[in-house]
């Protein structure tokens, strides 16, 4: 959850606060199976991170931010692309495109240039 929050906020202190808030609010959900609990905590972490508070602009308003959010929800939240689309409020094909382009950008770094 911390990795997801950090990827979404870009702020270590805010990410820690988000995780504490989400876990505190989720204590009543401990009866859920582990996978469902992980997915629900990821959804709540996303919502908490993107709820713009004073001085905290949302990072998902840009293409790069949406890519980061999609990749983070899949990687750290364990969501599939359809579940990620529902969380982000985007069509599934758009999330598939974001994941594809985001992965390509991760692979095509200066250490791994385009052939």
pLDDT tens, N- to C-terminus, the chain (115 residues)? 888 888 888 889 999 999 898 888 777 666 777 788 888 888 888 888 888 555 545 666 788 889 989 999 999 889 999 999 999 999 999 999 999 998 888 776 666 555 4
| DSSP one-letter string for 62-101 | SHHHHHHHHHHHHHTT---HHHHHHHHT--HHHHHHHHHH
- Is the pTM here over 0.85, yes or no? no
DSSP 60: G
Element (H, E) at 42: helix 34-50
């Amino acid at each position: 959850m911390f990795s997801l929050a950090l990827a979404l906020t870009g702020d270590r202190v805010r990410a820690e606060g988000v995780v504490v808030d989400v876990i505190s609010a989720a204590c009543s959900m401990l009866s859920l199976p582990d996978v469902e609990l992980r997915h629900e905590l990821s959804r709540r972490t996303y919502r908490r991170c993107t709820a713009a508070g004073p001085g905290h602009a949302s990072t998902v308003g840009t293409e790069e931010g949406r890519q980061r959010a999609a990749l983070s929800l899949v990687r750290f939240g364990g969501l599939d692309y359809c579940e990620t689309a529902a969380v982000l409020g985007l069509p599934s094909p758009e999330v598939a495109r974001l994941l594809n382009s985001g992965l390509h950008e991760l692979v095509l770094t200066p250490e791994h240039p385009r052939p």
